[in-house]
Structure 1
Amino acid sequence: MDHEPADPQLAVMYCRISEDREGGGLAVERQRQDCDQLAAQLGLRVVRVYEDNDLSAYSGKPRPDYDAMLNDLRAGMAGTVLAWHTDRLHRSPVELEEYIDVCESRRIATHTVKAGLLDLTTATGRMIARQLGVQARYEVERMIERQKRAREQKIGRGEYCGGPRPFGWESDGETPIPEEIDALNEAADSVLAGASLRSIATDWGQRGIRTSTGAYFEGGSLRRVLLRPRNAGIVVHLGREAGPAIWDAAIEESKWRSVCALLKDPSRIPAASNVRRHLGSGLYVCGPCSSDMKSGSKGTGQKDYHCRANKCVSRDLIKLDDYVQLAIFGRLSRPDAAQLLAERKDPVDVRGAQETMHQARAMLDDFAAALGAGDMDMQEWRTASAAARARLRAAEAELSQAEKVNPVVGLIGAPDLDVRWAALDLSRRRSVLDFLMTVRVFPARPGRQPDGGYWDAGAIQIEWK
Structure 2
Amino acid sequence: MGDTPHSSEGGLIPVASYARTSQDTPQRDARGVRHQHRINERTAREHGCVVVATYTDNARNATKEDRDRPAFDHLLADLHRGHAFTAGPLRGVVAVADDRLYRRPEDFILFMAALTSAPGRVYVGRDGLRDPYTKAGLLDGAGSLQGAVAEGRMRSRRVQDWHWSRAMDGLPHSGPRPFGWLEDRQTLHPVESELVRKAIEYRIAGGSMGEVAREWAALGVTGTRGGRPNPQTVTQIITAPRVCGFRANRGELLIDPHTERPLVGAWQAIVTPEQWTAVCATFSAGSLYMHRGPLSPRLTDRKAGPKYLASGFLRCGAELAGGGECDQLMGGGKSASRKSPYNYMCVSGRGCGRCAISGPLVEEAIERLLFPGEGQGRVRLPEPIRLRWQSGEMGFEEKRKVIASVFTHLVIKPGRKGCGTWDYSRVVPVWKWADRIMTAETAA
> Structure 2-normalised TM-score?
0.50
Which of the two has higher C-alpha Rg? 1
> Structure 1-normalised TM-score?
0.48
Higher relative contact order (CA 8 A, sep 6+): 1
Considering fraction of residues, name the structure with more helix: 1
